[in-house]
Amino acid sequence: MSPARILFVEDDINLGFVVRDTLENVPFQVTHCTSGPTGWAMFQSQPFDLCLLDVMLPQTDGFTLARQIRAVNTQIPILFLSALTDRADRLEGLRLGADDYLPKPFSIDELILKINIFLRRTIISQTPAVPVGTWLDRNNLTLSVNGQPQVLTHREAAILAYLLDRPNLLIRRDDLLRAVWGDDDYFMGRSLDVFISRLRKRLATDSSIRIENVHGVGFVLRR
């Protein structure tokens, strides 16, 4: 099997060299760009399996680049790397459709772990019975609501699949966080809220299914 192809957009030359060299030894196939426009042109020119984006890029910032990528590809995992550690910035990245946000300085081992999680994550269990009008194709990360198909991100599909497998049961936040993120720290909890909000919007046209919040405890998927 050929190495996974990663688009890496980072304007810090020294950091870019270290990260690229390390990832290529995993091995991954890494294409390193140093500006937003160059990254966008490269994304359009060839297929990639994952995007690794700095936020503070020259000419076109990472958030704008992520919007461009999501406009044409809603499935590819996007991970942000950024020195912007404010929660508002991190949550904005997730609202744009990113799958994760790793603040600088970061552990290269943690980065490799996160990359592998997204590259290996395939939701292959059989789709359970779901309400009329809504079904989840876990293999293709596709959600159909009243005949309208939507392509989910890996995180969205993983969260929805976990809830669908446990209908009408109270799912504790920390259990869901550990199942999907492998951790249950404060920021991951805020990230979960963003993804739950996105899923509610996706399911809004089917009144027979809803995700309820149980304050301070977790969620219940009603169907």
- Given a contact cutoff of 8 angstroms between Cβ atoms, the answer to whether 71 and 64 are in contact is no
Q: Which residues contact 68 (CB under 8 A, 6 or more apart)?
A: 40, 43, 60
At 121 the pLDDT is: 59
Q: What is residue 214's predicted lDDT score, i.e. its pLDDT?
A: 92
Q: Please determine, for residue 50, whether its predicted confidence score (pLDDT) is greater than 90.
A: yes
CA-based nearest residue to 84, from 69, 66, 106 = 106
Read off the pLDDT of each residue in 81-99 and give the average, rounded to a whole number.
75
Query: In this structure, which amino acid lies at residue 156?
Result: E
Handedness of CA 25, 31, 34, 36 (dihedral sign): negative
Please state the separation of Cα 163 from the chain's center in Å.
Answer: 17
List, in order, residues 6 or more apart from 73 with CB less than 8 Å away. none
In the chain, the percentage of residues whose pLDDT exceeds 90 is: 41
pLDDT mean across residues, the chain: 84
122 has pLDDT over 50? no
Q: Which residues pair with 53 in a beta bridge?
A: 9, 80
Residue 1: exposure state from Cβ atoms within 10 A (0-12, 13-18, ≥19)? exposed
CA angle 113, 103, 69 (to 5 degrees): 80
- Looking at residue 86, its pLDDT comes to 67
Contact 49, 121 (CB under 8 A): no
Q: What is the pLDDT of residues 186-207, one digit of tens each?
A: 667 788 888 999 999 999 888 8
Stronger pLDDT, 39 or 208, i.e. the higher one: 39
pLDDT of residue 154: 84
List the one residue out of 43, 181, 74 whose CA is nearest residue 121. 181
pLDDT digit string, tens, across residues 138-185? 777 888 887 788 888 888 889 999 999 898 999 999 999 888 887 766
- Section 34-38 average pLDDT: 94
173: left (phi over 0), alpha (psi -120 to 50) or beta: alpha
User: Cα–Cα distance between 100 and 95 in angstroms, integer?
Assistant: 11
pLDDT tens for 126-147 read 344 344 457 888 777 888 887 7
Question: pLDDT class for 124, splitting at 50, 70, 90?
Answer: very low
